Amino acid sequence: MPRQLGELEDAVMTRVWQWNRPVTVREVLEDLQQERSIAYTTVMTVMDNLHQKGWVRREVDGRAYRYTAVSTRAAYSAALMNEAWSKSDNPAAALVAFFGMMSSEQREALQAAVRIVQGDEAAEGGTQAGR
């Protein structure tokens, strides 16, 4: 399980995930500078750290690197939720408490996700039965 991203790591990864294309340190820097004062070397260090931790891959492009996310934000969020849930001594109670914190939109998204998973399981069962 990956550890939770720090504040600046999350700000960088948010851009990499949202843009969904190879990005340079300069592009991320310019976007971050709209919100805060930050140095090029700081962003470069964070992106290098994210590469070392396996969050992004990079390819040389001239004298710079282009960084691409290794995984999606959804997969990252799911891993964090799974890690938190697995640490509970009462997983059912943890889920009930978590569901109680959800907005109606989040509950609808959860119900849609369950339907998708159940549909996948039914399709797999149908495929196995047809063999």
pLDDT one-digit tens code per residue, 7-51: 999 999 999 999 999 999 999 999 999 999 999 999 999 999 999
Share of the chain above pLDDT 90, in %: 68
Transcribe the chain into DSSP letters: -PPPPPHHHHHHHHHHHHHTS-B-HHHHHHHHTTTS---HHHHHHHHHHHHHTTSEEEEEETTEEEEEESS-HHHHHHHHHHHHHHT-S-HHHHHHHHHHH--HHHHHHHHHHHHHHHHHHHHHHHHHHT-
How sure is the predictor about 85, in pLDDT bands with cuts at 50, 70 and 90? confident
Prediction pTM value: 0.74
